[in-house]
Structure 1
């Protein structure tokens, strides 16, 4: 056990202990099916996976930079062949509604019976949301979750069959296996959340060339977003041992590998493990409640078009301090995972350790360092009240002033 300030080298050597289980526990754990192909031959399994589902016509959904990097050509050559009938390269950060609608139109025009999301989280979310709009053929404002401040969100059932989704990622994002899709509404500047289990990916393909093609800073930001979600998942009041196992190992990989990005040790080994960590984190957080850092990060990212990973990394320690009255026991578990001496209050040493890890990264440390004007924070707090996850936060939010207080602390 250690009580002195922790260095990056400490995190690289972490070997997490098994958390103690309660004497009596009852739970239900349902995991959606997902076939994962990892390595240099992974793309060769794309056509067989399509054939397994009777699919013969695929549209790739990606960003223009992915096309320029030759990723679509690789996917065509190594995987899809003549099954590729169209490419939509209009993906934009935060999946704005216009891009999602355009993607749905491209899929319809090509007569596709499958969708291949190629890229990072925005490509995956755009492909998923486009499949929903294509099938349901309705106003997104009626299809999305209805959120009112102070009340749990209500999500309509979307029952029409959706095109199968296949994911070929370039960055580590928890979006791989999720069923939700957050679309940026330009009219309100807020996120519209669609949820449909039918849009979970059927198969995932992690390829070295695609993983290494993404800039280190982009991969780092995605990894940090995954890190924040893993910490929040372990901080959650929802106790689920199988989810805990995925989240703990995801966190272990993130702590060990994120610091290697952009160094001489940067290779498919760390990037591939970061992708696996993102998959585990995404699956683990399917069984936990949402949390405050992500809520505020969503609001900032949507309004100011900033990267979620960087924003969430700034917000995480401040959100953890706010949540501490409700998460003491969960923070003790995090302390055990991190091998931190917590004889007494667990909050301060755990948050200090997490801050130490984040400060070792070449990223901004304050919201002001991201170019965020202090005067915009009240509007961000207002937007956050409409987030899907707000009502799930461990420590109850008494009102907008609580949200603004956290933002000001992080500014």
Structure 2
């Protein structure tokens, strides 16, 4: 056996139609008496998620915030900070997809630290080193009720979008990791099919990047390979109509497995490009991930080629002895993507050709880039991959 360490955070997860019965128990376990709920406008509609949650929380509910926005822009997060301060909450319940969960975490960080996101975010220094401030203040406990298959539900990072500068402001604080997660079928059923699919595509890209990574270990590989198997089986399925619950629940489990696995293995270039392009093109990061992933895999193949055999195996293709694992894995991934109703080029999602240099520069500042299996030293290298994915 080769030497490795697998240091994983605690996971408390409740799944099923009776999962919300455990929410009050988990609040009690953490000594919480005033729960503020952060969600989206869709959750606030009649019959939405808030209606399901109110009777569960009862008198513990001290306020509801439904003004979150896609990509967690700084101004929307600041509104959530003001809401938490006014509510005098001692717990935060995040009900929604990735942007909701990130907004809840980021607002808790900004409230506790008393500083703007620019002062607290991770950054790449002029000499190329990556630094991340230690955020010492106690944070409000987080309880997460996801509605889409997002890895954010098990993560401790919170990335905000600054529309003024175009920067991604990444905050990291282990104290904001969910104290408990609740997977309820009615909540997973509520999101639109294209939103669910986009979140699952983000999960697919992250799982592939984790399997490419030299930081992975046998336990993270097991989680990530099974995540890819679930995604391969359930992403092409109908996510509305009869039978949708089983597919949505399987995709949610894939997201949990992927989030846990990539805590060990890290991300890479496809994730960084999703972060840089998604807000600029006003499309979900997962759609961008799906477009660029075959190209980032090909770019990384000189460094990760042998590890791509794990990706191919998870997608149902076992490379022959001495075979080209990279070509097999990329080809099998393209077959999966061809079955989905999604764009396949960056041109189709509205990225202008003249935006490519700015996107490459922005991606160079992304924390995920340091884990890319093939080192990236210049924006010109990133630009080559973007241009390949732009299409003709």
Bin for the TM-score computed over the shorter chain: over 0.9
Question: Of 16, 25, 28, which aligns to 1:39?
Answer: 16
Task: Tell me the SS of whatever aligns to 2:305.
Answer: helix
Does residue 367 of the first structure (1) align with residue 352 of the second (2)?
no
CA deviations 1:37-87 (Å, max 9, x no partner) are 10111111111110111101111111111211521010112x211111101
Gapped regions of structure 1 (runs ≥ 5) = 1-23
Residue 368 of structure 2 corresponds to: 389
Residue 71 of structure 1 corresponds to: 49
For the Cα contact (< 8 Å) 1:38–1:207, is it kept in 2? Answer: yes
Residue 358 of structure 2 corresponds to: 379
Residue 239 of structure 1 corresponds to: 216
- TM-score normalised according to structure 1 size: 0.91
CA 1:262–1:150 in structure 2 vs 1: closer, same or farther (change >3 Å)? farther
For the Cα contact (< 8 Å) 2:27–2:33, is it kept in 1? Answer: yes
Question: Of 306, 313, 316, which aligns to 2:293?
Answer: 316
C-alpha distance in structure 1 between counterparts of 2:271 and 2:281, whole Å: 15
More moved, 268-277 vs 334-343: 334-343
Deviation at 1:34, TM superposition (A): 2.1
Alignment of 1:4-153 (within 5 A): 24-68=1-45, 69-77=47-55, 79-148=56-125, 151-153=128-130
C-alpha distance in structure 2 between counterparts of 1:359 and 1:152, whole Å: 39
C-alpha distance in structure 1 between counterparts of 2:126 and 2:342, whole Å: 33
C-alpha distance in structure 2 between counterparts of 1:377 and 1:244, whole Å: 33
Question: Of 318, 333, 344, which aligns to 1:354?
Answer: 333
Alpha-carbon RMSD: 1.4
Deviation at 1:270, TM superposition (A): 1.4
CA deviations 1:332-353 (Å, max 9, x no partner) are 2222333244442221121010
Question: Of 107, 115, 139, which aligns to 1:162?
Answer: 139
CA deviations 1:269-292 (Å, max 9, x no partner) are 111111111011001000013211
For the Cα contact (< 8 Å) 2:210–2:216, is it kept in 1? Answer: no
Does residue 398 of the first structure (1) align with residue 377 of the second (2)?
yes
C-alpha distance in structure 1 between counterparts of 2:115 and 2:350, whole Å: 37
Deviation at 1:239, TM superposition (A): 3.2
Question: Of 168, 171, 180, which aligns to 1:203?
Answer: 180
C-alpha distance in structure 2 between counterparts of 1:186 and 1:233, whole Å: 29
Residue 196 of structure 2 corresponds to: 219
For the Cα contact (< 8 Å) 1:151–1:391, is it kept in 2? Answer: no
For the Cα contact (< 8 Å) 2:16–2:184, is it kept in 1? Answer: yes
Task: Tell me the SS of whatever aligns to 2:143.
Answer: strand
More moved, 310-319 vs 133-142: 133-142
Does residue 191 of the first structure (1) align with residue 173 of the second (2)?
no
- The one of the two structures with greater contact order (alpha-carbon pairs below 8 A, sep at least 6) is 1
C-alpha distance in structure 1 between counterparts of 2:141 and 2:240, whole Å: 38
CA deviations 1:5-51 (Å, max 9, x no partner) are xxxxxxxxxxxxxxxxxxx4112212211211101111111111101
Does residue 268 of the first structure (1) align with residue 245 of the second (2)?
yes
CA deviations 1:166-190 (Å, max 9, x no partner) are 0011100000111110011122111
Task: Tell me the SS of whatever aligns to 1:158.
Answer: coil
For the Cα contact (< 8 Å) 2:309–2:318, is it kept in 1? Answer: no
Q: How many corresponding residue pairs?
A: 387
Does residue 297 of the first structure (1) align with residue 274 of the second (2)?
yes
For the Cα contact (< 8 Å) 2:188–2:248, is it kept in 1? Answer: yes
C-alpha distance in structure 2 between counterparts of 1:310 and 1:265, whole Å: 25
C-alpha distance in structure 1 between counterparts of 2:216 and 2:227, whole Å: 17
Gapped regions of structure 2 (runs ≥ 5) = none
Deviation at 1:305, TM superposition (A): 2.7
CA deviations 1:142-169 (Å, max 9, x no partner) are 1111223662320111111100000011
